[in-house]
Amino acid sequence: MPTSERYPHLKVTDPEVYGLIQRQTALEGSTLKMIASENYASFSVLEATGSSLTNKYCEGYPAARYYEGNEVMDEIENLAIARLKALFTAEHANVQPCSGSPANQAVYRAIMTPGDKVMGIPVSEGGHLTHGWKVNFSGRDYVQIPFGPSQETGLLDYDQIREIARRERPRMIWCGTTAYPRTIEYDKFAEIAQEVEAYLVADIAHISGLVAAGVHPNPVPYCDIVSSTTHKMMRGPRSGFILSRENDRYQEKYYPESKFNLAKRIDRAVFPGLQGGPHMNVIAAMAVAFGEAATPAFKEYAQQVVKNARHLGECLKNGGIRLACGGTDTHMLLLDFRNETFTGKEVAEALGRAGIIANFNMVPGDTRKPFITSGVRMGTPGLTSMGMKESDMEKVGEWILRVVHALPDSAATEKAVRGEIAEFCKGFKIPGLDD
């Protein structure tokens, strides 16, 4: 359906909002979506998200609701849970968190008490706000024991992580990042966590689609808990989920008097601990996305995402751009401009004006402030969803190099590249927009 024929009611009742949606749709159809945490949801996911399920209130869990009339809602939530558990071979799943941060907050509530130590990678080194960063609840309510990749290589040093864990004896260890493009070795993390009797939690918000497709190792066999969003590599709605073991291997140490196992404590942390009624329209869309992720086509897609990222990385390296970690094993590239006079923010803004949408980001060893940075983070999920292959990455790489090499006087280059990209995008189908 052409975008001009969508939202016929909204077009009449609120032309202002309708116009803004049309503008964003046009922007996404004429630029390169390269923010690593963004993607295109299928039209089926969008339909479910915008369905009449928005109208139903169903506080509680299947077969244990606080409102009547939830027979169908129970089937929807159970379907989403079953599909999710099958994707990751998990014992337990909760699909009610509204997003990744609320999911992570529920993890803390289920296994931590205020003042406990949590090992996590700081935001400045590639971690997430909820992994103990000082301005977040996780850094205010708990004590972050930081670890991170080497400033020289950009890679995780598991011997160093073990030394820190032995010394600090944290109650929880996060093995997850938002800006680490290499494979995470969950088996090594598991050995470390078991040695110090710490809960091991993987945040796979960025790579859940790669894991589901078998392109990245599955953390579920090694971790006590796994959390994620669904709107990145998974191509689902904006939401979150939590996977876990049923039983707590540290029950006697940390919760000897509790009558609830680990799965039950997680469920109680989400509801009634942090949230009220779940968003059933979104949970239905999650079920759709999980179903799509179980198909051979999605596996091929995930494989192509990694191929594209690696090929683009090589193109950029050959053009003189330094990559943190030396390259990528995933969907993500982290461009390192520590040795340049221009900043990561200046690069990201120039690329944005040229139609290449990425974000400025700190890199290991960065001495610039978080709102300036020395790096740019970008990914290939959105481009791959449009149908792009390695040959297309060569064109994308050429555009990136042209803009970067033209700095600081890049205005003319930006304008020329912007026009070329808009024309280039006409040759591809935008999922959820051109369906």
Q: Which residues are catalytic?
A: 57, 59, 203, 229, 232, 238
How many CB atoms sit inside 10 A of residue 146's CB? 17
Residue 174 CB contacts under 8 Å (≥ 6 apart), including other chains = 118, 119, 120, 121, 127, 128, 131, 132, 201, 202, 203
The C-alpha atoms of residue 307 and residue 320 are separated, in whole angstroms, by 20
For 49, the token pair is: 């998200």
Q: How many whole angstroms separate alpha carbon 416 and alpha carbon 119?
A: 47
Beta carbons of 87 and 208 less than 8 angstroms apart: no
Going by C-alpha positions, the residue among 287, 407, 393, 430 that lies closest to residue 354 is 407
Query: Token digits for 62?
Result: 């299947």
Long-range contacts of 188-193 (CB under 8 A, 24+ apart): 188/158, 189/158, 189/161, 189/222, 189/223, 190/222, 190/223, 191/162, 192/158, 192/161, 192/162, 192/165, 193/165
Kindly tell me the burial class for residue 111, based on how many C-beta atoms sit within 10 Å of its own C-beta (0-12, 13-18, 19 or more). Answer: buried
Which ranges constitute the DSSP H helices of 178-279?
A: 186-196, 208-212, 251-254, 262-268
Quick one: which of 317, 322, 334, 341 has its CA closest to 407? 341
- Phi, then psi, of 31 in degrees rounded to 5: -130, 170
Instruction: Find out whether 84 and 96 touch, Cβ atoms under 8 Å.
Output: no
Q: Could you tell me which residues come within 8 angstroms of residue 312 by beta carbon, excluding any fewer than 6 positions away?
A: 333, 380, 393, 396, 397
Per the rule left: phi > 0, alpha: psi between -120 and 50, beta: everything else, 34 is alpha
Q: What share of the chain is helix, strand, coil (3-state, %, to 5)?
A: 45, 10, 40
Computed from CA positions of residues 280, 202, 130, 344, in that sequence, does the dihedral angle turn out positive or negative? negative
Q: Nearest-CA neighbor of 242 among 83, 95, 60, 90?
A: 95
